[in-house]
Amino acid sequence: MVKKDWKMICAITALTVSLAGTQVAWANTPPEQNVVVKLKVNTSSAKVNGVDTPVEEPYFSQGTTMVPLSLLTSAFGVTLQYDNETQLIELIYKTKSVKLKAGRKEVWINGKAVTLTASPETKNGKTMVPLTLITQGLGLTITIDAKTNDVSILGTKQEDTPQKDSSLDSDVGKTMIGDSYYRWSMKYPTGMIQENQSFQGNYVLFKDAKEASYLLDIYIATNQPENLSGNGLLARLTDMTENSILSKEYIANDKQPYARLTTKSSDGSMNEERAYQKGSNIYYVTLSSMKEADFRNPVKYGTYKSLLDSFTLNFPTDEKSVKDLSTVEGNYRWYTNDDFALKVKVPAEWTPDYSNDMYFESDEGREWMQIKITSKEKDLTLDAWVKDHEKRNREEVNENYIKVNPEVGSSTIAGEAAKEQENSYLDGKTWFTQQNLFFVKGNYKYWISIVYMKDQPSEEVADLMRTIKQSLSIDTAKMNPSLGEIMDDDRIDKNKTVIIKDKDATFSLELPEYWQETRELDGGRSYQFNGGDFNFQVGQGNLNEVKDIFIKAIENNKTLKYTFKENKETTLAGNPAHKLLIQGTDGATRFEKTLYFVQKGNKTFTMYWSLSEFARTKTMEERIQKVVDSLKFTK
């Protein structure tokens, strides 16, 4: 079982004090008193009537400055109400009523629809609004320093008015929190805020923003053995911890039994770690007290225990007082890439590959999707792009392993014209279908590859394709301004070569530049490319002795089924040589392995490569033959 380093996560997400605990500076401002708020872009501090106050950093977006909505509600007494069903935020300030929604430029001012030049946004869980909303919607006065771009907001604080929800940021009205997909819930005390959540939602971290005294995290391990005994559950919890164990026990609670550890971290923090099981899921819940004295304080610990005891393995779907952390809608969940301002739905059970950006696959690895974004080349057309993509595929995939549908379809994705082409690939004995989607938006081109088993039910495929295409959106105005040129690696010249020499310059080889060097061998090197590898090395010894060592190693590999197609003497680069050609299977993969042994003085030069049948094309065979023919001995 993979262990989770709780303290490392805690260190990365260091505790900070939230805005909620710092609003006293202006909350007591008398009604109708003049209020002056001064802000700096990209600065997390504002002055309210001269008093420094931490805020979410204002920033420049959509051609205007975005400021935190919470600043208006607190400094000027703007009343805020939130409708859970419509997701509309209503601001009431004196005679003004403004209804708005994050991501929409259309707002309603005193019931009249008005289109702003910029839409409200959400950043770090905070609602940010454009300056135009403040002036046009609420009637507050804005001044901007022409030299520094500092912003001043002037107005008066209105009298206190009862509010339905006094603050979006603190989720007033929500007394419980949980996840409807993983079916858990617990108390949601004031001051506990969400710090982090994994894409799949199976990990969430909370912190105490009020006193910075504790961290609480929940991790759900799926596909676990069902009906574990108390000892079995306790053993798994023990295996998960990285801390010193002070006590461990199984609480045989009839309502909700659980395994429990009391542990101490190397940094001195105290932890209560629990594990619950329901079906094939194990829920690991850990509360970490930053100070040991707090953990041993009966009053403090009573608060911690009450929070832990509130954790339950059900989610009350009809309760509006429960905040739902799930990003799942139906059978899909939302994926968001902030840099490219891209959103798309992917199947809820798919997992991301964190080593390969925007790549998702099913648990069994039988379905996957990849989104590749590169810069648009000058004068690129979709039709030419599709043809070039097909040409490169045929150069890299054996004709017996690929089928290309000659029909190219048209559709619309993210508001842009798109092209679609279907391929089929043979992997071992299984055929997979690949749907290729091509479109351009702004300065970038987008290739989406969706792969599934060929015999997958057509209604499932139709739903998958429809959901991905309809849900995908890109807001070019919100892209990271640091984005620049992104070269398409697929369009590199694969015939470009480089010259490789050994340290003594006794020989040289010309290799394709795109081959990736994986390791250095004794007197040589090893490279990889799609569907194969290439290796060479130089060693002391007689040709036949070296050859026999390689043959013995092949014969001792019991996983291979092979036959020697060639085993003969020859010449290479003007020197005596021996060639071995082996064909066989490694599991379900058919391959061909070629070895050359060249005698040069008292040394033997060995050059060998493997090529799967999947990748054995005329283009690849010619490319490798050029490497072989390039061998030159200089000494």
Closest CA to 370 of 382, 378, 362, 358: 358
Residues 42 and 122 in one domain: yes
Q: How confident is the model at residue 104 (pLDDT cuts 50, 70, 90)?
A: confident
Q: Are residues 395 and 285 in the same domain?
A: no
Give the chain's domain count: 4
Tell whether 164 is covered by a domain: no
114, with CB counted inside 10 A (0-12, 13-18, 19+), is: middle
Is 162 a domain residue? no
Q: Return the half-sphere exposure (C-beta side, CA atoms, 13 A cut-off) of residue 338.
A: 5
Same-domain pairing of 473 and 509: no
Same domain for 251 and 140? no
Q: Residue 316 sits in which domain range?
A: 6-11+171-324
Within-domain flag for 80: yes
Query: Hey, how many other C-beta atoms are within 10 angstroms of the C-beta on 383?
Result: 11
Spell out the residues 6+ positions from residue 374 whose beta carbon is closer than 8 angstroms to its own.
444, 445, 447, 486, 487, 488, 489
Q: Which segment, 106-120, 286-300, 505-519, is predicted with the most confidence on average?
A: 286-300
Residues 64, 196 within the same domain: no
CB 106 within 8 A of CB 99: no
- In this predicted structure, the answer to whether residue 173 has a pLDDT above a threshold of 90 is no
- Same domain for 145 and 217, yes or no, is no
Using a pLDDT cut of 70, give the percent of the chain over it.
Answer: 91
Are 46 and 192 found together in one domain? no
Determine the pLDDT at residue 122.
81
By the 8 A CB rule, do 324 and 312 touch? no
Q: Residue 387 pLDDT more than 50?
A: yes
> Residue 31 above 80 pLDDT?
no
Q: Stretch 414-430: mean pLDDT, rounded?
A: 93
- Provide the mean pLDDT of the chain: 86
Whole-angstrom Cα distance, residue 65 to residue 78?
20
DSSP string, 285-353: EEEEES-HHHHH-HHHHHHHHHHHHT-BS---TT-TTEEE---EETTEEEEEETTTTEEEEEETT-EE-
Give the lowest-confidence range in 228-237, 284-293, 413-422, 503-512: 503-512
Let me know whether 337 and 481 are in one domain: yes
Residue 467 lies in a domain: yes
- Model confidence at 281, pLDDT cuts 50, 70, 90, reads very high
Regarding whether 257 and 219 lie in a shared domain, the answer is yes
Asked, for residue 45, whether it belongs to a domain, the answer is: yes
Between the alpha carbon of residue 41 and those of residues 22, 49, 61, 126, 505, the distances in Å are 20, 18, 11, 16, 59
In angstroms and rounded to an integer, the radius of gyration of the C-alpha atoms of the chain is 32
- Tell me the average pLDDT across 436-444: 97
Name residue 592's beta-bridge partners.
583, 611
527 phi/psi in degrees, rounded to 5: -130, 155
Tens-place pLDDT, residues 330-374 = 899 999 998 999 999 999 999 988 667 799 999 888 899 999 999
Please give the Cα distance from 218 to 225 (Å, whole number): 19
pLDDT digits (tens, 9 = 90+) for 58-86: 888 888 888 988 888 888 888 877 665 56
Look at residues 319, 183, 318 and name the one whose alpha carbon lies nearest to residue 256.
183
- What is the pTM assigned to this prediction? 0.66
- The answer to whether position 199 is within a domain reads yes
Instruction: Give residue 521's pLDDT.
Output: 66
**Domain contains 163:** no
Examine the domain organization and report whether 472 and 371 are in the same domain.
Answer: yes
Is-contact 394 402, C-beta < 8 A?
yes
Boundary-marking domain end, from 297, 324, 351:
324
546-596 pLDDT per residue, tens: 999 889 888 888 788 889 999 999 999 999 999 999 999 887 788 999 999
Is 617 found in the same domain as 507?
Answer: yes
Axis-axis angle for helices 618-629, 382-396 (nearest 10): 60
The domain spanning residue 591 has which CATH number? 3.40.1000.10
Last residue of a domain, one of 446, 464, 490: 490
Evaluate whether residue 165 is within a structural domain.
no
Per cent of the chain over pLDDT 90 is: 55
Name residue 79's amino acid.
T
Residues 470 and 348 in one domain: yes
- Domain-terminating residue out of 128, 156, 184: 156
